[in-house]
Structure 1
């Protein structure tokens, strides 16, 4: 008997949406057919959508579970388990947990919790405690003085598949407006007088000049010959995109301007934008709106970033508000990230693929996740 039969469903395929039946056996999609079945083990989906399990390539969601309240550190394993439950409930079946290796500020929860979080993710994998398929995305803060000694011990596990190069120095990229830098860190209860802030910017700029280029070269040497994908972060202009392409970057994460997104498209980089940007109708920090990039066909993938539930919501809004077909919209959270990350076993609903499947209902324009299966096993 088949493990799973989903019928009377609107099944989102690569090239269209059919009313049909999806059949799973031994964790793999065996068959996708038009029409319904009366098989006794079939689940009547009542006309709900069936979509591929979502693939998340950059989520910081775990951080809020590691520090649920300012100054309160939570044990890493319970934090990872809570994060895992939340992402699965959002329809995410493959998740790249983004762990920041370093920070521009010395006193940072990211620095304090990096190793324990990394170990907790691997322990969750090894014990079978996690519902989603977890991978690791190491975010390298190039101006962080201790980057290399911190990064090297983390590089050797097979789950490390994505590396991104970041530089959050005030005065460029995400913080080209240095007041945005000040505003962001003031949310973390950091305050400076005018003289103190001027000194901070000066010190950060000097730190970047001393470390960033040589750290970038060292990271590139470290990943040479490894099966890893390289991403840039917060590209702002065509020159930064050109540099990224020249060093082997294939993913442009969160370009901050239309110019950068145009350049990434022209040079064959896959562009990922934040799904919260789509849901909120714009960037929280004044950068280019993701919907604008969608309307100019400069958007390839979405990331939930800091709100797991935004991933499906954002993709559905591309269908509703950017005029994209359902297959094209859902590809931003399934097929396209699968391709960008080198997966050929997931991201689409067709025979032979992993049975990572989401049942979703449109309720007044809001996509509601009703059930999730990971490799054919019920997870939500």
Structure 2
């Protein structure tokens, strides 16, 4: 038995090159036709009609970089909601904003709270399980790896190989470049976010700089090779200059023509 055709009528339909008044006919979950408003005679009596008068009808949006899930898990420092509750609560909000595919950003930074390695590991496992179940939208996982988080390399390898992530990006939040290129900006951020005193914040900034000098870039290339072999797109994060973009593109070429996109919080 043929499934009844759904007719979305009366709205402004946003197409790739223009917006028109008309109707969208949907059958078996796929667009069958888009008809201009003057062809209303094609809307038959047995169609299921959805009135979109005064609304825009747009394609479902794909968000490839969002930290929103972290706020659902830990809305305030030290206050945590169950993973499944955070997942489904955010899903409802995303649907309301027209997002039908979300790449949930989880920051493997070796930090505290929701960005600690332990909680990121829990979230990766739980969200991957939930994403395989029936849901309102398509859920994807974006693992964001801080280049100085040396202890987490094996964890990254595991999730690249087990197929639980769909986008992998390298982050470099060390002071003096990228997001914290302005003098003192990293210290200010740490003081505000973690409630540290000025000297403690400055000590953390110095530690970040020391660790950055110890980064094994060859090991990072090996992670990128593994991700590319698994069909996982690669990204760099908060590149602050053309030279940084070119450098990362060259690195991607040296690891087998890996795809590389640029993502930013700013």
TM-score, normalised by the number of residues in structure 1: 0.62
Offset of residue 159 of structure 1: 5.2
Per-residue CA distance 1:123-170 (angstroms, 9 max, x = gap) = 222331x21100111111111121311212211344522111101111
Deviates more, 1:221-230 or 1:50-59: 221-230
Count of residue correspondences? 252
Q: Structure 2 matches for 1:34-49, cutoff 5 A?
A: 34-35=36-37, 36=40, 37=43, 39-40=45-46, 41-49=48-56
| Residue pair 1:80, 1:117 contacting (<8 A) in 2 also | no
Name the CA shift for 1:184/1:127 in 2 (closer, same or farther; >3 Å).
same
Within a 5 Å distance, the mapping from 1:2-81 to structure 2 comes to: 2-35=4-37, 36=40, 37=43, 39-40=45-46, 41-81=48-88
Q: Please give the secondary structure, in 1, of the residue aligned with 2:235.
A: strand
RMSD: 2.0
Comparing 49-58 with 62-71, greater Cα deviation is found at 62-71
Q: Unaligned regions of 5+ residues in structure 1, if any?
A: 255-273, 275-282, 284-380
C-alpha distance in 1 between matches for 2:45 and 2:54: 17
**Equivalent position of 1:102 in the other structure:** 109
Q: Equivalents in 1 of 2:88, 2:31: separation in Å?
A: 27
Matched with 2:255 is none
- Aligned to 1:64, the other structure's residue is in SS state helix
Give the Å deviation of 1:178.
4.1
Partner of 1:126: 132
For residue 187 of structure 1, give the secondary structure of its aligned residue in structure 2. Answer: helix
1:230 is the counterpart of 2:234? yes
Change (3 A) 1:159 1:94: farther
Distance 1:10 1:58, change over 3 A: same
Q: Secondary structure at the match of 2:215?
A: helix
- Offset, 1:95: 0.5
Give the distance between the partners of 2:55 and 2:225, measured in 1 at CA: 48
Structure 2 Cα separation of the partners of residues 212 and 23 of structure 1: 55
Q: Does 1:253 align with 2:263?
A: yes
Could you say which residue in structure 2 is the equivalent of 1:301? none
The CA distance in 2 between the partners of 1:228 and 1:58, in whole Å, is 15
Residue 280 of structure 1: aligned partner = none
- C-alpha distance in 1, partners of 2:204/2:77? 23
State the SS of the aligned residue for 1:224.
Answer: helix
Alpha-carbon separation, structure 2, partners of 1:108 and 1:208: 22
Does 2:217 match 1:213?
yes
Distance 1:82 1:215, change over 3 A: farther
| Greater alpha carbon shift after TM alignment, 15-24 vs 29-38 | 29-38
- Matches of 2:5 and 2:189 in 1, distance apart? 49
Structure 1's 215 and 70: CA in aligned 2 closer, same or farther, altered over 3 A? same
Give 3-state SS (helix, strand or coil) of 2:194's partner: coil
What secondary structure sits across from 1:153 in the alignment? helix
1:16 shift after superposition = 1.0
Structure 1 residue 201 corresponds to structure 2 residue 209: no
Provide the rounded CA distance (Å) in 1 between the counterparts of 2:140 and 2:164: 5
Question: Could you tell me how far apart the structure 2 residues matched to 1:3 and 1:60 are?
Answer: 38
5+ residue gaps, structure 2, are 253-258
Q: Is the 8 A contact 2:171 2:236 kept in 1?
A: yes
**C-alpha separation between the residues in 2 aligned to 1:12 and 1:212?**
47
> What's the CA shift for 1:225?
1.8
Following superposition, the deviation at residue 116 of structure 1 comes to: 1.6
Asked if the contact 1:102–1:146 (Cα under 8 Å) also holds between the matched residues in 2, the reply is no
